[in-house]
DNA sequence: TAGTGGTCTAGACCACGGG
DNA sequence: CCGTGGTCTAGACCACTAT
């Protein structure tokens, strides 16, 4: 059984994910959608509420509903970039691939990742920019034997994290969050001061016990925070 | 503005969290609830849907809605209180209450917490030591109208976080994680350098929409990290 | 078959916020 | 002001399932 509000949800989701409606794009009003789907406003509202919950749109009285800005890896733990949550609409996210090399895994890193040394990897470095300000440095390793398609992917249209999510189902992820001081390179890239407190997120993702990707994302501490709502584990 | 469905949600949540309604308990039918709250069935349905999403109840046609069993796998980010965390890893944990005052909530803070100004609070400052090295500064506010027992508690045996966990069932927590540079006071207490990158964890905990406690925990970045394992959330 | 949740309607009024 | 979302109603029909 496919309900009307599920249809509306899916249709809008498709346009957003497909890039048809860019961040900041104003989506039709509830009334227009109700007319288009020949249903009541409340049914539309249900679909839009679900989209809000997924962080895909924001709704504002009087002005309408807008496609939200891409979120910096909301992907896994419901931990998202909340610093901008209140003003999701209209933020411009961009990224730039700084480097992209195919290598073999060195011993030290292999140990850290608990993967065999010598395995072929794709090593990426990427800068994320939000509203013209550097927001994160992404340093990533993709295991090419698990994700062979990455060998020919240059991530010119889709950032690596998003691309991977679409390509590879993952079954487990591990996160580590630390605070570090910016070294010279990091400070330069993030346009911040050397020694500035930065938030360091490391994520390793597995599929059936094999590492899919390992990524280290460095945010300037003053421009970023993680936030998340949680419920008790047990009652 | 408190809506009807929020009221229904909170009332049912209260009984479940408080243990009044045990897992398996059948909650009133939508019709009964609609009558009790003098609202339409759809409004009740909205509240129940939210409870389902939170995993607190299950709904079955013909038979009704039931309190769900405690969930094991709902783990999002298992950030526990400091002493438990430290002891799990086999370290020796100690703490010292630096200050303890009963105050009234000032306007700025009240706004931040979304609680009424002037409310009575217990303000605590606490230093955590792991294996002889300062590991965290804890700055905490406890709402005394929600946790009246805290008024006479001096936390000489049990640290505030652990004590609160045992005293007050909570239904929602919000975490914010940031990186900050140590100011002079923080650096002195943590025996680290001024300007050192520190990991800042803010947690606000609610019971039925009322704040139980608000705590800010500052860790030296080089001596601490958060970690968590996650699995995809299927919907 | 009967009781329950699942979905939907065609209105209504209110709250908010830009002009 | 007026357009938009936010909430709500008092019904309705359907789907599921225990009995």
Q: What's B202's domain CATH number?
A: 3.40.1410.10
How far in angstroms lies nucleotide D15's C1' from the CA of residue B60? 12
Per-residue pLDDT, B43: 93
Give a yes or no: residue A24 inside a domain. yes
The predicted model scores a pTM of 0.60
H helices present in chain A, as ranges: 4-17, 30-36, 41-53, 107-113, 160-167, 184-190
pLDDT at residue B134 is higher than 50: yes
Which chain B residues have a beta carbon less than 8 Å from that of A40? none
Give a yes or no: residue A136 inside a domain. yes
Residues B97 and B207 in one domain: yes
Q: What is the CATH number of the domain that holds B51?
A: 1.10.10.10
Determine whether the interchain pair B76/A76 forms a contact, defined as Cβ–Cβ distance below 8 Å. no
Tell me the nt nearest to A60, Cα to C1': D5
Give a yes or no: residue B231 inside a domain. no
Which residue of B74, B77, B178 is in closest CB contact with A228?
Answer: B77
Shortest distance, CA B72 to any CA of chain A (angstroms): 6
What span, in angstroms and rounded, lies between the C-alpha atoms of A210 and A216?
18
Answer whether any strand D atom is within 7 A of the Cβ of A176.
Answer: no
What span, in angstroms and rounded, lies between the C-alpha atoms of B4 and B12?
12
Give a yes or no: residue A231 inside a domain. no
Over residues A86-119, the pLDDT tens digits come to: 233 345 567 889 999 999 999 989 988 989 999 9
Per-residue pLDDT, A81: 32
Shortest distance, CA A29 to any CA of chain B (angstroms): 22
Residues A146 and A186 in one domain: yes
Give a yes or no: residue B144 inside a domain. yes
Both structure tokens of A111: 């140990």
What span, in angstroms and rounded, lies between the C-alpha atoms of B213 and B204?
6
Which residue of B78, B198, B233 is in closest CB contact with A179?
Answer: B198
Cα–Cα nearest to A183, from A199, A164, A167, A196: A196
How far in angstroms lies nucleotide D7's C1' from the CA of residue A28? 20
Chain mean pLDDT for chain B: 80
A102 in reach of chain B (CB within 8 A): no
Per-residue pLDDT, B76: 34
Over residues B140-168, the pLDDT tens digits come to: 999 999 999 999 999 988 888 878 877 77
Q: Give yes or no for a contact between A56 and A123, defined as CB atoms under 8 angstroms apart.
A: no
pLDDT band for position B45 (50/70/90)? very high
Cα B177 to chain center, whole Å? 14
Give a yes or no: residue B227 inside a domain. no
Please tell me which residue of chain A has the smallest CA distance to B230. A173
Shortest distance, CA B154 to any CA of chain A (angstroms): 26
What span, in angstroms and rounded, lies between the C-alpha atoms of B136 and B220?
7
Determine whether the interchain pair A76/B230 forms a contact, defined as Cβ–Cβ distance below 8 Å. yes
Shortest distance, CA A181 to any CA of chain B (angstroms): 5
Measured CA angle at B223 (ends B219, B229), to 5 deg: 85
pLDDT (average), residues B124-136 = 84
Tell me the nt nearest to B60, Cα to C1': C5
Per-residue pLDDT, A154: 92
Residues B9 and B98 in one domain: no
Residues B48 and B107 in one domain: no
A221 in reach of chain B (CB within 8 A): yes
pLDDT (average), residues B91-103 = 86
Residues A64 and A151 in one domain: no
Residues A112 and A174 in one domain: yes
Determine whether the interchain pair A232/B174 forms a contact, defined as Cβ–Cβ distance below 8 Å. no
Answer whether any strand D atom is within 7 A of the Cβ of B61.
Answer: yes
Reduced to 3 states (helix: H, G, I; strand: E, B; else coil), residue A110 is helix
Q: Chain A interface, mutation test: which of B230, B231, B235, most A Cβ atoms within 10 Å?
A: B230
Per-residue pLDDT, A171: 56
pLDDT at residue B85 is higher than 70: no
Per-residue pLDDT, A92: 58
Per-residue pLDDT, A210: 85
Residue listed under structure tokens 């989506």: A27
Residue listed under structure tokens 């039931």: B66
pLDDT at residue B86 is higher than 60: no
What span, in angstroms and rounded, lies between the C-alpha atoms of B227 and A176?
4
Which chain B residues have a beta carbon less than 8 Å from that of A235? 16-17, 19, 70, 169
Per-residue pLDDT, A88: 38
Residue at shortest CA–C1' distance from C19 = A62
Determine whether the interchain pair B231/A197 forms a contact, defined as Cβ–Cβ distance below 8 Å. no
Per-residue pLDDT, A78: 34
Dihedral angle of Cα A5, A7, A12, A14, to the nearest 10 degrees: 150
A229 or B112, greater pLDDT = B112
pLDDT at residue B19 is higher than 70: yes
Residue at shortest CA–C1' distance from D8 = B43
Q: Give yes or no for a contact between B217 and B82, defined as CB atoms under 8 angstroms apart.
A: yes
How far in angstroms lies nucleotide C8's C1' from the CA of residue B45? 13
pLDDT at residue B173 is higher than 70: yes
Which chain A residues have a beta carbon less than 8 Å from that of B137? none
Residues A178 and A218 in one domain: yes
Give a yes or no: residue B76 inside a domain. no
B75 in reach of chain A (CB within 8 A): yes
- How far, in Å, are A131, A136, A195, A196 from residue A192 at the CA level? 16, 11, 9, 7
Give a yes or no: residue A121 inside a domain. yes
Residues B90 and B200 in one domain: yes
pLDDT at residue B74 is higher than 60: no
Residues A42 and A111 in one domain: no
pLDDT at residue B80 is higher than 80: no
Tally of structural domains, chain A: 2
A123 or B220, greater pLDDT = A123
Which residue of A171, A226, A228 is in closest CB contact with B76?
Answer: A228
Cα–Cα nearest to A120, from A162, A148, A140: A148
Per-residue pLDDT, B29: 93
Per-residue pLDDT, B111: 82
How far in angstroms lies nucleotide C11's C1' from the CA of residue B8? 25
Domain membership of residue A143 as a residue range: 93-226
Answer whether any strand D atom is within 7 A of the Cβ of A48.
Answer: yes
Sheet of A64-67, strand order: A26-27, A64-67, A57-60
Q: Give yes or no for a contact between A190 and A125, defined as CB atoms under 8 angstroms apart.
A: no
Residues A103 and A204 in one domain: yes
Shortest distance, CA A142 to any CA of chain B (angstroms): 19
Residues B86 and B195 in one domain: yes
How far in angstroms lies nucleotide C11's C1' from the CA of residue A42? 11
Residues A60 and A151 in one domain: no
């Amino acid at each position: 059984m496919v309900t009307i509000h599920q249809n509306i949800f899916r249709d809008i989701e498709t346009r957003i994910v497909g890039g048809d409606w860019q961040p900041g794009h104003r989506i039709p009003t509830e009334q227009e959608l109700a007319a288009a789907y020949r249903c009541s406003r409340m049914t539309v509202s249900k679909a839009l509420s679900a989209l809000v919950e997924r962080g895909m749109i924001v709704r504002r009285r009087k002005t309408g509903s807008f496609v939200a800005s891409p979120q910096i890896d909301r992907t896994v733990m419901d931990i998202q970039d909340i610093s901008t949550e209140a003003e999701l609409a209209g933020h411009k996210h961009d990224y730039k691939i700084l480097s992209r090399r195919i290598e073999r895994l060195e011993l030290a890193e292999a140990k850290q990742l608990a993967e065999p040394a010598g395995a072929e990897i794709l090593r990426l470095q990427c800068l994320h920019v939000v509203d013209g300000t550097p927001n994160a440095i992404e340093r990533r390793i993709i295991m090419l034997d698990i994700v062979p398609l990455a060998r020919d992917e240059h991530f010119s249209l889709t950032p690596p994290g998003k691309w991977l999510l679409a390509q590879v189902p993952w079954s487990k992820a591990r996160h580590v969050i630390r605070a570090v001081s910016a070294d010279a390179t990091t400070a330069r890239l993030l346009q911040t001061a050397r020694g500035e407190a930065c938030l360091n997120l490391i994520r390793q993702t597995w599929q059936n016990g094999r590492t899919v990707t390992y990524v280290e994302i460095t945010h300037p501490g003053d421009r970023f925070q993680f936030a998340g709502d949680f419920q008790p584990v047990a009652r």
